[in-house]
């Protein structure tokens, strides 16, 4: 049921994106542009993350986090003062930290600490917004939240590939640097940007070299789809790191658009697409079978993002930013439509996942198992 407000926040956030691009949008409400970033990060992805955790920990109290995050999004979309939405999002992020404390007690692993640190960054972002700090200055906290959440998940999966302890330590240090960078950027954007940039670059290199996606990309079906989405996402993380390192923690202009969407569309949205067929069935209580057609929105997302960032932000073409941005929206909507269709139609007559012989060599099952542990 909490997926409905997350879906509403997604549609409103996409409408806000069109308004920010300066192109025709179905609903021309100024407020949607103002709250686009917060809706997308805390309202859509934040609610999905919190919901997945709540289902996995199997405690009624854990549903408080997605409930408050979803309520915050509805408040942001209503005529209520924006402070109400900020306060509800703050409550939701604090509750999410509480959920990670429960998970940590059951499974005190570095991967959980990294994800908990991500949730702490979400609390920081919501606090800053409530205190009236402009959203542009809050964006490094948004980045820390979502990047640490995904990186923590990947770190958990790395147990399968058993990377050297130094690699895991490197990921932990880069994660701490990301949090530090977000704090420093508030006072000194150039120094903070350098720390943030180095942290993202380090994470991108470590993940690209050691994530299981490097092996699973050579398989077929869902594991290959997931690996492609993840490897492309790691590449975008490096792009964002480079922009922050060279330009500092920018708060407007072309570099601002580029760094934010390299992370949020190139890395985060790609990860959401990658994990949807594995994670969402537990939330939906219905299978979301992988279908090869899911590759189309994934490819469109990355190609259109490349066009937006290189031709648009890089060469300074407003038209290219608009064309690429609209294609980004189409890619996200197309993935949503394919996912809804896939759930409605159900599993194909011929199993595509369980019967693929190479599956024994790829760790989709550990992902599900680790989700169940949480
Ligand atoms: C789907 C296509 C999307 C498009 C076309 C889009 C477009 C935009 C535009 C044009 C801006 C203003 C940039 C600037 O001021 O230079 C913006 C800001 C932002 N976007 Fe997106 N966006 C999209 C998706 C996302 C997603 C998925 C997220 C997060 C998960 C996100 C998070 C943000 C944030 C945090 C800001 C900063 C908000 C602000 O400065 O008020 N966007 N977006």
pLDDT at 350: 62
- For residue 264, how far is its CA from the centre of ligand 1 (angstroms)? 8
d(CA 301, CA 314) in angstroms, rounded, equals 18
> Which two tokens mark 287?
């299978």
The residue with greater pLDDT, 356 or 287, is 287
d(CA 108, CA 103) in angstroms, rounded, equals 8
pLDDT over 50 at 360, yes or no: no
- pLDDT band for position 355 (cuts 50, 70, 90): very low
pLDDT at 347: 81
d(CA 255, CA 259) in angstroms, rounded, equals 6
Q: Return the number of other C-beta atoms located less than 10 Å from residue 106's C-beta.
A: 11
Chain segment 186-244, per-residue pLDDT in tens: 999 999 999 999 999 999 999 999 999 999 999 999 999 999 999 999 999 999 999 99
Chain segment 4-58, per-residue pLDDT in tens: 999 999 999 999 999 999 999 999 999 999 999 999 999 999 999 999 999 999 9
- pLDDT band for position 327 (cuts 50, 70, 90): very high
pLDDT at 158: 77
- Average pLDDT across the chain, whole number: 92
pLDDT over 70 at 372, yes or no: no
What percent of the chain is modeled with pLDDT above 70? Answer: 93
SS (H, E, C) 229-286: HHHHHHHHHHHHHHHHHHHCCCCCHHHHHHHHHHHHHHHHHHHHHHHHHHHHHHHHCC
Chain segment 331-343, per-residue pLDDT in tens: 999 999 999 999 9
Chain segment 270-283, per-residue pLDDT in tens: 999 999 999 999 88
Which atom number of ligand 1 is nearest to the Cα of residue 14?
A: 1
Q: Which helix (H) or strand (E) holds 28?
A: none
- Look at the alpha carbons of 302, 305, 307, 311 in this order and tell me if their dihedral is positive or negative: negative
Ligand 1: lining residues by beta carbon, under 6 Å: 14, 17, 20-21, 36-37, 40-41, 45, 135-136, 139, 142, 252, 256-257, 260-261, 264-265, 268-269, 325, 328-329, 332
d(CA 362, CA 219) in angstroms, rounded, equals 8
d(CA 189, CA 195) in angstroms, rounded, equals 10
Residue listed under structure tokens 């150039």:
190
Whose alpha carbon is nearest atom 24 of ligand 1?
265
- For residue 371, how far is its CA from the centre of ligand 1 (angstroms)? 29
Mutate to test the pocket of ligand 1, among 23, 36, 143, 253 (most ligand atoms within 8 A of CB): 36
- Residue among 217, 221, 191, 49 nearest 121 (CA): 49
């Amino acid at each position: 049921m909490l997926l409905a407000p997350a879906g509403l926040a997604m549609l409103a956030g996409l409408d806000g994106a069109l308004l920010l691009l300066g192109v025709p949008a179905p609903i021309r409400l100024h407020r949607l542009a103002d709250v686009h970033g917060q809706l997308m990060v805390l309202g859509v992805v934040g609610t999905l993350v919190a919901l997945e955790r709540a289902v996995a920990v199997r405690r009624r109290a854990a549903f408080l986090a997605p409930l408050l995050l979803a309520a915050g999004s509805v408040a942001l979309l209503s005529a209520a003062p924006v402070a109400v939405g900020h306060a509800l999002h703050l409550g939701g992020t604090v509750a999410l930290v509480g959920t990670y404390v429960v998970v940590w007690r059951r499974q005190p692993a570095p991967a959980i600490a990294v994800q908990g640190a991500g949730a702490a960054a979400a609390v920081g972002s919501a606090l800053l917004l409530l205190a009236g700090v402009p959203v542009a200055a809050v964006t490094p906290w948004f980045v820390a939240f979502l990047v640490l959440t995904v990186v923590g998940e990947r770190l958990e999966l790395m147990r399968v590939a058993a990377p050297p302890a130094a690699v895991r330590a490197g990921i932990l240090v880069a994660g701490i640097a990301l949090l530090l960078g977000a704090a420093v950027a508030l006072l000194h954007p150039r120094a903070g940007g350098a720390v943030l940039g180095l942290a993202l670059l380090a994470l991108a290199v470590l993940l690209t070299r050691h994530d299981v996606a490097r092996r699973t990309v050579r398989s077929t079906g869902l594991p290959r789809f997931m690996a492609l989405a993840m490897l492309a996402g790691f590449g975008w993380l490096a792009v964002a790191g480079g922009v922050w390192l060279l330009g500092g923690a920018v708060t407007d202009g072309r570099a601002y658009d580029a760094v934010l969407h390299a992370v949020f569309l190139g890395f985060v949205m790609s990860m959401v697409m990658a994990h949807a067929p594995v994670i969402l069935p537990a939330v939906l209580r219905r299978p979301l079978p992988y279908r090869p057609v899911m590759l189309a929105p994934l490819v469109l997302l990355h190609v259109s993002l490349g066009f937006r960032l290189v031709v648009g932000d890089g060469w300074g073409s407003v038209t290219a930013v608009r064309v690429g941005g609209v294609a980004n929206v189409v890619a996200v909507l197309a993935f949503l439509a394919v996912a809804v269709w896939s759930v409605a139609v159900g599993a194909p007559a011929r199993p595509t996942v369980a019967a693929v012989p190479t599956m024994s060599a790829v760790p989709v099952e550990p992902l599900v198992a680790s989700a169940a542990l949480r």
